[in-house]
Amino acid sequence: MVAVAILAAGRGTRMKSEQPKVLHQLGGRSLVERVLLSISDVRPSHCFVIVGYKGELVQAVCEARLSLDRQFGQLPALTFVEQTQQLGTGHAIQQLLPHLEGFEGDLLVLNGDVPLLQPETIKMLVETHTTHKNAATLLTAQLPDPKGYGRVFCDRDNFLQQIVEDRDCTPEQKQNRRINAGVYCFNWPALAKVLPDLKANNDQQEYYLTDAVNFLAPVMAVDVADYQEILGINDRKQLAIADSILQERLKDRWMRAGVTLVDPNSITIDDTVQFDPDVIIEPQTHLRGHTVIRSGARIGPGSLIENSEIGENVRVLYSVITDSQVAADSVVGPYAHLRGKAKIGQGCRVGNFVEIKKSTVGDRSNVAHLSYLGDATLGERVNIGAGTITANYDGVNKHQTTIGDGSKTGANSVLVAPVTLGENVTVAAGSTITKDVEDNALAIARSRQASIANWQPLKKD
């Protein structure tokens, strides 16, 4: 049986942020969420998150994401344990003593600021630990630049001799490039026995978890194959480096799955985005949140799509789409903004400076130039003329506009909601429509044009 503890109580002073470090974002997820994802193969019996600095916020984010995202499906409910004062990583784990009384299994400990670990790596660590029946097993890496990390000293069989924190290292010890990743698997009864004996006699006057490791035997170290996985985030520079590693991973994965990325370095993709094969993403395109892109779609250049579903063979050009859906074979843009649950049907054309909010556009309808549709429901084959605006807001409430199948609005029409146009209605250009229009009618609501013959313009004396 394995219990998990994630250390997430520190503020992360070096981030220079009001926000707790573990809530900083990487590829659309917070650091702590990423750590939670990395334990998905372990199937823990308990999962503790040690919180301190803005703990209620960390708890709220974790709980909200866990309930939202199917990828966390394997995890038990999280137990948040408060560490009121952050007196060190060992002190953080001491907080678990009352929670795990009598627990006979293993405890997997992860730092909340190590977000790139792969589930297979964690699985390998736990398996090595259980096969060898170690008192503790820790994940290590050979870093080209080990500065800042605890150094790990082992004998030839990878049994631990000592971990020394960077700041407590002698100049010779600093030469060792094998570092402590901050990820450990402990035999809990053995750890529980040594935890109360930790002393804070080090440079930081903190209770170090690494000291507990030093008290245990046998302790084995296992190197991770790719050192990039264990990079810790202590400042914004490291956050940016981790972000580029993550982007590269995601892009490799999607290109292998049949997605063309044109100029991949200019594209960003959250790891919650899904693609069907045969999608083309053009430069300067950013895909975020729970977005799905179907086969044959071509997105970009210059587009931002967030929490939206883009259907088969859809073309999106220089546009922003959030929380919306576009069905197959439609064309969006250049310069369209779809938001707040806009739902575009099949074979539609939306674009050239068009904003659509919380509206449904039926199949084969066009909203092709300079329009705003808000809180509107359009039938099929509707043609919205250039510059048509739904006046949906009276200053207090939003109102609905409904337009039946086959209707057309002329250029520069204003539809003052609430208002309903029937089927096959024609609205004359420049009309301000304030009353419902019946099926098959022509609605004209503008002042009649007058001509005054032989008009003599006024002249200055």
- The answer to whether 121 contacts ligand UD1 (rule: CB under 6 A) is no
- The answer to whether 20 contacts Ca ion (rule: CB under 5 A) is no
Q: Which span (180-188, 284-292, 304-312, 410-418) binds ligand UD1, by CB under 6 A? A: 180-188
Q: In this chain, which residue has its C-beta nearest to ligand UD1? A: 150
DSSP string, 405-441: TT-EE-TT-EEESSEEE-TT-EE-TT-EE-S-B-TT-
The one catalytic residue in 132, 290, 369, 399 is: 369
Cβ closest to Ca ion, residue 20 vs residue 385: 20
- The answer to whether 24 contacts ligand UD1 (rule: CB under 6 A) is no
- The answer to whether 180 contacts ligand UD1 (rule: CB under 6 A) is yes
CA distances from 25 to 52, 167, 270, 320 (A): 19, 28, 10, 21
**Would you say the C-alpha torsion 433, 435, 438, 439 has a positive or negative sign?**
positive
Q: How far is the CB of 149 from ligand UD1 (least distance, A)?
A: 4
Question: Which tokens belong to 387?
Answer: 């510059």
The 8-class DSSP code of residue 346 comes to T
Q: What is the 3-state secondary structure (H, E, C) of 32-53?
A: HHHHHHHCCCCCCCEEEEEECC
Cβ closest to ligand UD1, residue 172 vs residue 461: 172
Q: Which residues contact 308 (CB under 8 A, 6 or more apart)?
A: 291, 292, 321, 322, 323, 324, 325, 326, 338
Cβ closest to ligand UD1, residue 211 vs residue 375: 211
Is 369 in the active site? Answer: yes
Q: Which residues pair with 269 in a beta bridge?
A: 287
Positions 111 through 140 that interact with Ca ion (CB under 5 A): 113
Q: How far is the CB of 111 from Ca ion (least distance, A)?
A: 6
- The answer to whether 50 contacts ligand UD1 (rule: CB under 6 A) is yes
Positions 67 through 96 that interact with ligand UD1 (CB under 6 A): 83, 86-89, 91-92
- The answer to whether 232 contacts Ca ion (rule: CB under 5 A) is yes
Positions 203 through 232 that interact with ligand UD1 (CB under 6 A): 208-210, 232
Q: Which span (75-83, 109-117, 130-138, 262-270) binds Ca ion, by CB under 5 A? A: 109-117
Q: Within 13 Å and on the Cβ side, how many CA atoms surround 312?
A: 2
Backbone phi, psi, residue 301, to 5°: -70, 165
* CA–CA distance, 120 with 124 (Å, rounded to integer): 6
* CA–CA distance, 336 with 349 (Å, rounded to integer): 10
Cβ closest to ligand UD1, residue 114 vs residue 415: 114
CA distances from 47 to 22, 43, 63, 80, 128 (A): 16, 10, 12, 9, 20
Q: Which of 114, 293, 419, 427 binds ligand UD1 (CB under 6 A)?
A: 114
Give catalytic residue positions.
369
Residues that bind Ca ion (CB under 5 A): 113, 232, 234
Residues that bind ligand UD1 (CB under 6 A): 7-10, 22, 50, 83, 86-89, 91-92, 111-114, 149-150, 165, 179-182, 208-210, 232, 234
